[in-house]
Amino acid sequence: MSNENLQQLIKDLAGKQLADGTQLSIEMFDGENTVACIKVEDREEFPIYMTVDEGQILCITYLFGDDQVDPNKRAALAEDMLIMNVSIPLSAFSKIGDQYIMFGALSPKASIDELVHEIELLSDNVLEAIEAVADYLKEAA
């Protein structure tokens, strides 16, 4: 795990803004210095977790858990996510444990501007995605 790379990225991202002037806040998240947490202003509900290793920079956002999915619509949800995957710019759906996620991966050599662009798209995609699959989720209690 290349912690130094992550620390450098945090330094480079600090104080950055998205294209529309939205602020980003970023901090090291865990004691082992392996995960950074990025929050997009006004979208704090969906933080983006960032990790770096030799192979890639990985940005992950949690969408919802299995328990929020209408059990009768699970298969349809999975199929729609698979179908949507290709047409979503730069991000893709996946699942970690019982949590559905959206993620984007970049080369560790990517520029900071490319990374900011990735974060912006991921943040937008997450909101779009939840809206798109809302019908498959249980009614909010």
With contact defined as beta carbons under 8 Å apart, do 57 and 90 qualify?
Answer: no
Residues that contact another protein, how many (by CB under 8 A): 40
With contact defined as beta carbons under 8 Å apart, do 93 and 81 qualify?
Answer: yes
Binding mask 66-95 toward another protein (x if CB under 8 A, else -) reads xxx---------------------------
Q: Which of 5, 12, 43, 84 binds another protein (CB under 8 A)?
A: 43
**Interface segment toward another protein; rule CB under 8 A; list 11-19, 48-56, 73-81, 109-117:** 48-56
Residue labelled with tokens 């984007």 = 104
SS3 17: strand
**Under rule CB under 8 A, residue 96 binds another protein:** yes
Distance CA 113, CA 55 (A): 19
* Residues 6 or more apart whose Cβ sits within 8 Å of residue 112: 9, 12, 13, 16
Please give the residue ranges that form the binding site for another protein (CB under 8 A). 1, 29-30, 32, 34-35, 37, 42-47, 49, 51, 53-56, 58, 60, 62-68, 96-99, 127, 130-131, 134, 137-138, 140-141
